[in-house]
Amino acid sequence: MGELDGQVAMITGGASGIGRATAVRFAAEGATVAVLDRDGEAAARVAQEVGGSAHAVDVRDGEALAAALRAVADATGRFDVLFNNAGTGDLRPLHTVDDKLWHRLIDVNLTGTFNGMRAAVPLMLETGHGAIVNNASVSALTPTRNEAAYSAAKAGVIALTKSGALEYGPSIRVNCVAPGHVRTPLTAVWEQFPEVFDPVARAIPLGRIGHADEVAEVVLFLASARASYVTGQTIVVDGGISLPQAGTDAALTQLLEKFSGA
């Protein structure tokens, strides 16, 4: 018996990365999965893989997203889980972020999550239950250099998560995951510059970059009955990189090895 047997789950940004990994995991646990993504063809491939449905939609379009969620709920007769996963990033100094880029990062990451929650809540209230999981980032908690706009948007996602938990319990649980360095299409650049990013992996207490499947496991937990008394929480999935002094510790370890061998 699967943890989501008979349930209907919808995933934004479900065509790749953490979204796809979660779609596969949800389906393996018995859920009927609706894959939503702005790339309709990629969404269709994942939907075929998991035996679900595909919907081409941009989360920035609140009306279109609401219509897609309603269509799935009407077709299946229920709506149990929403994973607000769609997101985008960028890397540049704050003062070089123009209005267009600022609004893209806010609109996709924060407004897209808001649009998903706003559309899902009435549908879940109709059935009297539901679980929403939002995808933030460890950068929402401990921003890194040149991620000001992205970090601000993801911090807003955490605030939305807490607000939703306060407003809609006990019927709806709302939680959040905050991934750290995880291999996805958004981090493909790491493969191109190993000399730059290998030290990052070494600085992570668990000693490696994470995998999308590992985040999907946490999303599944938060969506399932195992988390029946968990709401308003942000679960960090980062291998320990956000621990205080994690990077410094790695540097000091190398220095100790250097001088010990001298």
Report the Cα–Cα distance between both ends of the chain, in Å, rounded: 59
Helix, strand or coil for residue 83? strand
φ, ψ of residue 224 in degrees (nearest 5): -95, 175
Handedness of CA 169, 173, 176, 177 (dihedral sign): positive
Q: How many CB atoms lie within 10 A of CB 187?
A: 15
Look up 150 and say whether it is catalytic.
yes
From the candidates 8, 150, 153, 241, give the one annotated as an active-site residue.
Answer: 150
Helix axes 112-127, 148-168, angle to 10 degrees: 20
Helix axes 246-260, 194-203, angle to 10 degrees: 100
Q: Where are the alpha helices (DSSP H) in 93-147?
A: 99-106, 112-127
Q: Tokens 């018996």 map to which residue? A: 1
Catalytic amino acids? 150
